[in-house]
Structure 1
């Protein structure tokens, strides 16, 4: 999965500037048709495994009751039973790595990877939020301590964001929507349409939400990456990473990213403050999911 594109330094810098100023940038036609086809086949196999046995994975639901279930994604596609070689080979694509290193520097560490699809029964309307439960976080310079990126394998118009919101406090109206799990329309919101082969790079502290109608087609991979020595984040290595033979399954680029994450986690034990914050985030997500489950 090598990219043979000749990308100029000016193009890379332009994408980086857009990412810093807007909080996201959509880069067109990074992946070729063969790569998209490989990823799509891998995605279909993963989705089938999750739908056949959702309780065995970190599955995302629009409905999750004793009588009815409906899924819209799964966390950790590097799970031993879900992993496909093509998922890791994304980090072999030169253009992807050029963009990531232009934002974060040359040495990176793994943070996470998920898969997102369209629900079958109940529309997916994700609330306005900044990721990681920290709605007070912003950086006035626009510089980021991480990059998330979405890889659509079919046309995807689910991402809605407020450009530039990663650089400021939320407005009173925005904060009300966050506090109330709101999904209202904002005049300055942007809905991005991604085609297969495009990649959407985003700052997770940009105020954003997702929207997807049940029964439509969606197949999107969602990755997160950080600078190797970044103090923010981390603590996302999972037990399988440390098992004999697990890293041997990964291509060399992914192995280095995961080794850097393991090293960082080992050297930065979770503080009491961080543990409390993680528990708070978990409870906020559980509360939101329970409201969705009860139809609130």
Structure 2
């Protein structure tokens, strides 16, 4: 200081230049996704909040999302205690609609998170999408969630002194808590944040992945789930993986415990999800495109290994049918007597498909109804279908078309391509209007209908389409085709539709469906969907089969 008095000690009381250890430099770590994409993660050199480590829980969450991209695709994601933010980055890469990456509000940590977002953005096409989707910000667990929710709700921030009406403020579909449970004193604050930020629907979920790095405190880590249950949440284990070695060498305690990563899903109970069909429910980008165009294509919903498994099962079924050994190759892929039915059943009830269906129908698991799952194969000779709408006859007059197009469709139908498929031809937007005079007077097999579009699917792609869009099919005998055609109903659909599904052949084996290969969460959903089909069908009258197992 300029006016500081020197009492003759000189610099005796000053700290030597090297008295304090230098701040450790930032470090980098590479993570490789299952699809081969590399993500470079920058980390702070040291942190009392442990933000200088890429924890095993973060890596396992990233893999968990990649196993079933529909867990995050088109959804909103909040990560707590993100550090490098690996799960957030992977969620955005897989197509999340909005991601908020948070950690303790230390400027250095927030800067590192933003650096990782910017770095990832440079490696993902189109450029700018990752940076637009992910926001990095500081947040203390249990604090006012308004700044977090503001990322989902553009406009003036709500008055914190006035509680928002239920459903009036959008919340997050998915929360991520990776390796945070060792902070025992913060369990209550974490659960408070879950309560205040997790959307109240059955398909909204907080994924909590962790390892008990201090095995002697394993029960204290697990106390988090007891508190969650006491707060009214449902808790279910959804993942478990034993690693080859622990994260930290030479740590004391049981090595098997240190190598185990477990994942749990924390959800609202059904009775708490009262506003699932609220008008304020945000619109999925998939639903927006389906409403606008009458169809929506989602790329690569399964990985390469799963695709090859489905191809093999489909080839076996096709050869069996062509040889006369199976009469139902176009239908009944979940028939328990069909070789390979397990893989088809697993796909039909997977979150990869049903996660999209729920967005399109704006519903939760409790509304879904099992319907049909067929296979469309290469024909023996070329043939074409005429232009048509599935539920409206060609002779319908414009007024009748408008009236019937205005009725809600309580189902979602799709084509899932195992090989390249360009057989579906549509007129985008025609599901919202009567046919034009040109369309009405055109040849039924017109090859160049105005504004027509050929829907091109790569292997692993899926297209959902409004069955009353003006469309036709053109099928080549020279091109391999194995496309799985499915439909999923909504509980508000007609009883007659359910009866028709059962009389379509499903009724002869629906009570024998094998769901044993499904994980607990998906098995329960499948059982419920089957029960709703049977109940709706039986309510419509005689369905032509016995409901007794």
**Which band: TM-score by shorter chain?**
0.7 to 0.9
Alpha-carbon distance between aligned partners in 2 of 1:250 and 1:185, rounded to the nearest angstrom? 46
Counterparts of 1:142-153 in structure 2, within 5 Å, are: 144-153=409-418
Which of 152, 155, 164 is the aligned partner of 2:420? 155
Which of 319, 323, 329 is the aligned partner of 1:48? 319
- Segments of 5+ residues of structure 1 without an aligned counterpart are 60-73, 272-296
- Segments of 5+ residues of structure 2 without an aligned counterpart are 1-65, 77-96, 98-282, 544-549
Secondary structure of the structure 1 residue equivalent to 2:485? strand
**Which protein has the bigger helix share?**
1
Matched, 1:240 2:508: yes
Counterparts of 1:1-296 in structure 2, within 5 Å, are: 2-4=67-69, 6-9=72-75, 11=97, 13-53=284-324, 57-58=327-328, 74-82=330-338, 84-104=341-361, 105-106=363-364, 107-120=367-380, 122-132=381-391, 134=393, 136=396, 144-176=409-441, 181-231=444-494, 233-235=497-499, 236-237=501-502, 238-243=506-511, 245-247=512-514, 251=518, 252=523, 253-269=525-541
**Structural RMSD (CA):** 2.8
Secondary structure of the structure 2 residue equivalent to 1:184? coil
**Count of residues in Structure 1 that have an aligned counterpart in Structure 2:** 252
Alpha-carbon distance between aligned partners in 1 of 2:334 and 2:444, rounded to the nearest angstrom? 30
Question: Closer, same or farther in 2 for the Cα pair 1:52/1:249, shift >3 Å?
Answer: farther
Contact 2:370 2:529 in 1 (8 A): yes
Residue 127 of structure 1, CA deviation: 1.4
Question: Closer, same or farther in 2 for the Cα pair 1:250/1:176, shift >3 Å?
Answer: farther
The one-character-per-residue Cα deviations of 1:257-295 (angstroms, maximum 9, x if unpaired) are: 222111101112379xxxxxxxxxxxxxxxxxxxxxxxx
Alpha-carbon distance between aligned partners in 2 of 1:117 and 1:242, rounded to the nearest angstrom? 24
Secondary structure of the structure 2 residue equivalent to 1:233? helix
Question: Closer, same or farther in 2 for the Cα pair 1:242/1:216, shift >3 Å?
Answer: closer
Residue 9 of structure 1, CA deviation: 2.4
Alpha-carbon distance between aligned partners in 2 of 1:86 and 1:143, rounded to the nearest angstrom? 32
